[in-house]
Amino acid sequence: MKKISVLVVDDEIIMCAALRHHLEQFPHIEVVGECHDGPAALLAAERLKPDLIFLDIRMPGLNGLEVAATLDQLEASPQIVFVTAHDDYALKAFEVGALDYLLKPFDSNDIIRVLRKILRNQSVSARSLHDSTESMQTVSLLPRPAKFCLYNGEKQEVVDNRNIKLFSVEHGKTFAQTIDDHKYLAKQSLHEIEQLLDPSLFFRCHRNFIVNIDWVKTVSPWFNRGLLLTLKGDKKLEVPVSRAQTKKLEQYIHF
């Protein structure tokens, strides 16, 4: 089966590397090139004739929207997936015929969602689609990331896992609280974050909480035979351990 050729375009080299890493987990995807500005992207698209371009919006020279508009005039124009940290571009992205929209910081599930749509458009068989998705699961065999890219307002900050003492869900959003008690917004779900963490250090104590066990100060009885953890820090922070998870806590703390 012919592979889907992909060009990755982003002015941040680290973002290009992250996209390439995710995409190369799929046997039916071939990353044929990488560019870091709009004019270079146009030249590469003309030379390489990729089936698909993952295209950043904010770039020097020409922005991603301008690049997409130019490519759309070609007789055999590639499909476009915009990649950006700014969700206010979504409407403009689809106005220029983008296939999909990837919001930074993206994760494996975002990539799978986009590639499912692409593979369907390429008329790939159900078996091939299943194999491609299954291959993405090999990511879990790779070393777990030591850092997370988290939102502080509109700015993204890279935070070391060891400096995060709690992940939590509030009103449907996922947050990370650091050892200095700063709270960041995380794009991933709590379940997705759990798969990326070192299970010897982070404990899923409740459906809404993952705690860094090194930052547990006290353990107290709680409602319905659960437990309550008090975390170290200047601000008092209490985290419940559900009844179902109390036994598992003994793997981390000897009572």
Which domains does the chain possess?
4-141 (3.40.50.2300), 156-249 (2.40.50.1020)
The answer, yes or no, to whether residue 74 has pLDDT greater than 50, is yes
Specify which residues 150 forms β-bridges with.
Answer: 157
Whole-angstrom distance, CA of residue 83 vs CA of residue 111: 11
Question: In this predicted structure, which of 87-91, 120-124, 127-131, 251-255 has the lowest mean pLDDT?
Answer: 127-131
Contact (CB, 8 A) for 81 and 114: yes
pLDDT band at 136; cut points 50, 70, 90: very low
Cβ(191)–Cβ(210) under 8 Å? no
CB atoms under 10 Å from CB of 126, counted, come to 9
Helix (H) or strand (E) holding 165: strand 164-170
Distance CA 124, CA 121 (A): 8
96 has pLDDT over 70: no
Q: Average of pLDDT values for 64-85?
A: 86
The answer to pTM > 0.85 is: no
